[in-house]
């Protein structure tokens, strides 16, 4: 039976971005329709953040059993029940799913329509037999795995983040195309759970992160047995006796060869394609809606409006930084603009991100190369090793570094961290960058002892390390001493 809906806001996509907009708008009594073609919760809940971190947690437990010797605890090689690890993953998803469910959102007053959405005009959307004519639309359809144009890829079974969590048996030898966050997190998780793992990356692994800190992550994974082949081109994929065979090409310097010059073959049981994400825009009818887009995503202005002023686009579908917390950030900006008609402007320079390997690696604000290009000699970088932290020493987690970037006036403009709890410490630095705090203010907070957070205060204090050596300062101290 056909029906027509006329809400104030229609949200397309029930991932993190869409759910945040729908719940926020409904809380203010605004009529909202939410459209989703697949599972509520989107990629983050079902095939992304939650399952990957749950698997990493299981892998971390296995690793801890192997690492007790330094603490006087006899190390053991744990028996891994891979299927049980996957059951843990599914139980976590099940515990969170009710928060993102159709029932909850209908209880909030949101009308949920399930099916494929397609624009039929600048202000009209069709979902099956339902027509939706809204004052504002928000496209939050997310992204999907990007498949590189590697010859033969279509001839073999391969995994993506959407399918790897369905494995019930541990791969014998997992080949991973892509050395980004997904590739490295899955590499370490599966290695710790018993798989042999080889990562192949066309360029530099974790290319978005600080080049000083990435080697600490790579070396840690290598120490656990993960094999890395960076700057390696995959020329062909084909079936093999064990599963899949990759024909690869290495650079003249470095890499590995089987004697056939710069060419070689690598055979594995499973292939994970983790070469990035592509915006999910197929079938939306964006042309009919007057929305400009490209292969990189929907084009938006600083306020996340598309070329059709009635339509916003948020989250992964606009390209750029594809993180769940960015999707939620976008949702807040759209609510500010659509509900209250207040100015809203995206600022990508305050966005943090973390890769949850061991050690973790995190970035807040500008990278050092970006900051030096902008501020030149007015930029100062201060560095502190984890080894200077008492808690890190107590837990034997001293592999790590913190770098703070101070611009004019000592304002914190960026920070890079690698080491234990780097992601948690990034929270304070993210606040500092977003609020324009200075190194003086960061040095003024009191960190409980002994915590990893003391590293941040120590780094901020290091900014002032030269002050006691200045002649004027020392002269003032000498004069004040005369007064007793």
Quote the tokens at residue 133.
Answer: 């004519």
- pLDDT confidence bin for 401, thresholds 50/70/90: very high
Is the CB of residue 57 less than 8 Å from the CB of residue 193? no
Q: Is 141 annotated as a binding residue?
A: yes
Residues 258 and 289 in one domain: no
Its pTM stands at 0.94
Q: Can you give the residue range of the structural domain that contains 323?
A: 3-145+278-348
* pLDDT at 474 > cutoff 80: no
Q: Give a yes or no: residue 61 inside a domain.
A: yes
Q: Give a yes or no: residue 482 inside a domain.
A: no
State the virtual CA torsion across 413, 406, 179, 328 in degrees, nearest 10: -20
Residues 194 and 262 in one domain: yes
Q: Is 436 annotated as a binding residue?
A: no
Sheet holding 244-249, edge to edge: 233-239, 244-249, 263-268
- Torsion angles phi and psi, residue 386, rounded to 5: -60, -30
* pLDDT at 62 > cutoff 90: yes
Look up the CATH number of the domain holding residue 106: 3.50.50.60
Residues 225 and 210 in one domain: yes
Give the lowest-confidence range in 88-97, 244-253, 328-337.
244-253
Residues 391 and 375 in one domain: yes
Residues 10 and 141 in one domain: yes
Rounded distance, CA 262 to CA 166, Å?
A: 36
* pLDDT at 403 > cutoff 70: yes
Distance of CA 10 to the CA centre of its chain: 27
Q: Is 142 annotated as a binding residue?
A: yes
Q: Is 180 annotated as a binding residue?
A: yes
Q: Is 423 annotated as a binding residue?
A: no
Q: Is 276 annotated as a binding residue?
A: yes
Residues 105 and 8 in one domain: yes
DSSP H or E segment with residue 267: strand 263-268
pLDDT value of residue 259: 45
Quote the tokens at residue 478.
Answer: 């000498």
Residues 160 and 229 in one domain: yes
Q: Is 194 annotated as a binding residue?
A: no
Residues 256 and 175 in one domain: yes
Q: Is 107 annotated as a binding residue?
A: no
Q: Is 416 annotated as a binding residue?
A: no
pLDDT value of residue 2: 86
Question: Using alpha carbons only, how large is the chain's radius of gyration in Å?
Answer: 25
Rounded distance, CA 418 to CA 217, Å?
A: 8
Q: Is 53 annotated as a binding residue?
A: yes
Q: Give a yes or no: residue 479 inside a domain.
A: no
**Percent of the chain residues past pLDDT 70, beyond the cut:** 97
Mean pLDDT value across residues 101-129: 97
Q: Among 236, 256, 273, which residue terminates a domain?
A: 273
Rounded distance, CA 112 to CA 148, Å?
A: 35
* pLDDT at 257 > cutoff 80: no
Residues 267 and 337 in one domain: no
pLDDT value of residue 261: 47
Residues 166 and 247 in one domain: yes
Look up the CATH number of the domain holding residue 426: 3.30.390.30
Residues 292 and 259 in one domain: no
Q: Are strands 380-385 and 311-313 parallel, antiparallel or unpaired?
A: unpaired
Q: Give a yes or no: residue 299 inside a domain.
A: yes
Count CB atoms within 10 A of the CB of residue 429: 26
Q: Give a yes or no: residue 54 inside a domain.
A: yes
Terminus-to-terminus CA distance in the chain, angstroms? 91
| DSSP conformation class of 229 | E
Residues 10 and 140 in one domain: yes
pLDDT value of residue 484: 67
Q: Give a yes or no: residue 203 inside a domain.
A: yes
Q: Among 295, 325, 348, which residue terminates a domain?
A: 348
Q: Give a yes or no: residue 136 inside a domain.
A: yes
Q: Among 273, 294, 316, which residue terminates a domain?
A: 273
Rounded distance, CA 99 to CA 97, Å?
A: 5
- pLDDT confidence bin for 466, thresholds 50/70/90: confident
Q: Is 266 annotated as a binding residue?
A: no
Q: Give a yes or no: residue 353 inside a domain.
A: no
pLDDT value of residue 260: 46
Instruction: Compute the half-sphere exposure of residue 129: CA atoms within 13 Å on the CB side of its CA.
Output: 3
pLDDT in tens, 311-340: 999 999 999 899 999 999 999 999 999 999
Give how many domains the chain has, as a whole number: 3
Rounded distance, CA 8 to CA 422, Å?
A: 41
pLDDT in tens, 205-231: 999 999 999 999 999 999 999 999 999
Q: Are strands 173-177 and 196-201 parallel, antiparallel or unpaired?
A: parallel
Q: Are strands 233-239 and 227-230 parallel, antiparallel or unpaired?
A: unpaired
pLDDT value of residue 252: 58
pLDDT in tens, 10-27: 999 999 999 999 999 999
């Amino acid at each position: 039976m056909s029906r027509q809906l006329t809400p104030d806001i229609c949200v397309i996509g029930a991932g993190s971005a869409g759910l945040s907009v729908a719940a926020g708008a409904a809380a203010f009594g605004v009529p909202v329709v939410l459209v989703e073609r697949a599972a509520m919760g989107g990629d983050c809940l079902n095939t992304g953040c939650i399952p990957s971190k749950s698997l990493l947690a299981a892998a971390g437990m296995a690793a801890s059993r192997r690492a007790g010797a330094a603490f006087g605890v006899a190390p053991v090689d744990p028996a891994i029940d891979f299927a049980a690890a996957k059951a843990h993953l599914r139980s976590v998803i099940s515990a969170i799913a009710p928060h993102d469910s159709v029932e909850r959102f209908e209880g909030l007053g949101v009308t949920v329509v399930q099916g494929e959405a397609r624009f039929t005009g600048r202000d009209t959307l069709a979902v099956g037999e339902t027509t939706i004519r809204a004052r504002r639309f928000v496209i939050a359809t997310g992204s999907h795995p990007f498949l590189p144009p590697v010859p033969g890829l279509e001839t073999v079974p391969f995994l993506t983040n959407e399918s790897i969590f369905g494995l019930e048996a541990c791969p014998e030898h997992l080949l991973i195309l892509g050395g980004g966050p997904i590739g490295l997190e899955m590499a370490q998780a599966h290695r710790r759970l018993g798989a042999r793992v080889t990562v192949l990356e066309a360029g530099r692994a974790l290319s978005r992160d600080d080049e000083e800190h990435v080697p600490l992550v790579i070396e840690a994974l290598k120490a656990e047995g993960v094999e890395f082949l960076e700057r390696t081109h995959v020329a062909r994929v084909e079936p093999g006796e064990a599963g899949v065979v990759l024909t690869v090409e290495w650079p003249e310097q470095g890499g590995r060869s089987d004697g056939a010059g710069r060419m070689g073959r690598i055979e594995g049981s499973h292939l994970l394609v983790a070469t990035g994400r592509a915006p999910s825009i197929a079938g939306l009818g964006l042309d009919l809606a007057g929305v400009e887009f490209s292969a990189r995503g929907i084009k938006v202005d600083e306020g996340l409006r598309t070329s059709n002023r009635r339509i916003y686009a948020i989250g992964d579908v606009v390209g750029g930084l594809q993180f769940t917390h960015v999707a939620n950030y976008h949702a807040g900006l759209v609510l500010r603009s659509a509900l209250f008609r207040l100015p809203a402007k995206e600022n990508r320079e305050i966005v943090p991100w973390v890769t949850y390997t061991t050690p973790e690696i995190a970035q807040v604000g500008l990278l050092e190369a970006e900051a030096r290009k902008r501020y030149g000699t007015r930029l100062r970088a201060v560095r502190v090793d984890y080894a200077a932290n008492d808690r890190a020493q107590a837990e034997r987690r001293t592999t790590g570094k913190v770098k703070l970037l101070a611009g004019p006036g000592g304002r914190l403009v960026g920070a890079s961290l690698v080491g234990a709890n780097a992601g948690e410490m990034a929270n304070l630095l993210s606040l500092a960058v977003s609020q324009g705090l200075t190194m003086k203010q960061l040095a003024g907070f009191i960190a409980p002892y002994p915590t990893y957070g003391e590293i941040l205060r120590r780094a901020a204090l290091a900014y002032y390390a030269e002050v006691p050596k200045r002649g004027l300062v020392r002269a003032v101290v000498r004069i004040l001493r005369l007064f007793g």
